[in-house]
Amino acid sequence: MSSPADLSLFFLQKLACILSAVGSLMIISQVTRSQFNRKKTQQRLMLCISIIDFQTSIVWIFTPLFMPAYSGYPWSVGNRASCDTQGFIVQFSSAGFLYMCCLQFMYLLMIKYGWKEREITKLEKWFHIIPNAFGIVTATTALVLKQYNAANWDCWIAPLPADCTSSYEVNKGNTELTETDCIRGDMANIFRFAFFFAPLWASILFCIVTMIVVHRTMKKSELNFQKKYRFSQNSRNRQVSDEVKKQSIRYSLAFFIVWTFPTLARIVQFFKEVHPVLVVLSGTTIGLQGFFNALIYFRPRYAKCVKHKRWYNKVWALVHSTIFFCCYNDDYTKDSVDYVGRTSSVINTEGTSMSMTAKSMGPQQIVGYPEGKDEEKREEKDDEWHSNGEEGDATTQVKWTSETQG
């Protein structure tokens, strides 16, 4: 009979994964249905992140169908083949946080080093090759080495039986055994660290460093802009800067919240048995990545739902317009009006997927950022003025505004 902790983990994780699957599906719909979004590298990367989150959430929702019947997991009816299938998909999800690193690196290039969208596009293939190659290679290697077994809440890299002695411990002489007694999953702890947690922690560190660099660059850029152009919108400049910082903090917190408890559980596991409460917290929060991404992605659009007064009506309008779009049509849900107007206090309502997207707008948004085809013309003028020895970006926005708005 399942313990209270097992049942709590079962139901809480399913709820978290359902929310995550819905959130990821909304982002997928928002990107794929917008021609403007599909042309943007940032949006295409976010699409890939959401697809990975969606497929991982789905296999976690239906974990009982994958977990072997002998595992003791509530209502499990799976077998060895189904367990390998889930383990492969879960391990492939490691490509997700590498995609986040690529996204942060893209904004570092754009904001600090002034790369244009078309220059980023030439590099984009590596943003897809590296995460997918890592996910496929590690997932396949673990499959070939028979590493996928029933773990705490899913099939993943784990020893079988759970208390077996690995060949690594045997070779160190820490046991009286002359060979490992693991039927499957020999040296699982080493593979878990090498294939998942080491890349994860490195990704978190990379994102933190990138965020700091971008913050410093953005702050310096805004100070220079204010000194050179004394517009009456200085208060809005500060407002934009504050919103950028808040969005950045939200994305960082979401990433840290999702992986804090799993990281703690893995560290504790090196020394002693993990407490059931920590297992429940780990299994629940790890399934919320897509949900948190959607909250941040659609936050600016939520602010535009002025037609509805109650929060749940606004949320339903967003869900309706993305998942049930075939029978829903409202102006504020269309991508053609996703960029904020002069009276809005929110920047980048295109549904930014990462904190750095807002930073890419920078001071330009203050004087009117061209949309759609106008944006392409703006980039052409950037190159033209650069070739003439004139300043781009902030200066470009001033010139573009004066030329297009009179």
Q: Could you tell me the CATH number of the domain that includes residue 46?
A: 1.20.1070.10
C-alpha torsion angle, residues 5, 11, 12, 17 (rounded to 10): 140
394, HSE (Cβ side, Cα atoms, 13 Å): 18
Does residue 211 form part of some domain? yes
Count of the separate structural domains present in the chain: 1
- Residue 323 tokens read as 């998942």
Does residue 76 form part of some domain? yes
Q: Which residues of 258-270 are buried (b: 16+ CB within 10 A; e: fewer)?
A: bbebbbebbeeee
Does residue 333 form part of some domain? no
Nearest to 45 by CA among 317, 270, 354, 355: 354
Does residue 5 form part of some domain? no
Does residue 12 form part of some domain? no
Does residue 89 form part of some domain? yes
* pLDDT of 70: 86
CA distance 381 to 370: 12
* pLDDT of 188: 92
> Alpha helix (H) ranges present in 173-274?
188-192, 198-228, 234-269
CA distance 176 to 185: 20
Kind and range of the H or E run holding 104: helix 94-111
Coil vs helix vs strand at 133: helix
Distances 294 to 48, 96, 181, 322, 328 between C-alpha atoms, Å: 14, 15, 45, 12, 19
CA distance 273 to 267: 10
Cis bond upstream, residue 131 (ω within 30): no
Range of the domain at 218: 19-327
Does residue 404 form part of some domain? no
Q: What are phi and psi of 291, to 5 degrees?
A: -65, -45
Each residue's pLDDT expressed in tens, for the chain with a length of 406 residues: 478 888 898 999 999 999 999 999 999 998 888 888 888 888 899 899 999 999 999 999 999 999 998 888 888 999 999 999 999 999 999 999 999 889 888 878 887 888 888 889 999 999 999 999 999 999 999 999 999 999 888 999 999 888 888 888 888 877 778 788 899 999 998 999 999 999 999 999 998 888 888 778 877 777 776 666 655 555 555 555 556 556 656 777 788 889 989 889 888 877 888 888 998 999 999 999 999 989 888 887 777 776 777 877 888 878 877 777 665 555 444 544 333 233 223 333 333 333 343 344 443 333 333 444 454 555 555 444 444 444 344 333 433 333 333 3
* pLDDT of 140: 97
Answer yes or no: are the C-beta atoms of 351 and 304 closer than 8 Å.
no
Does residue 354 form part of some domain? no
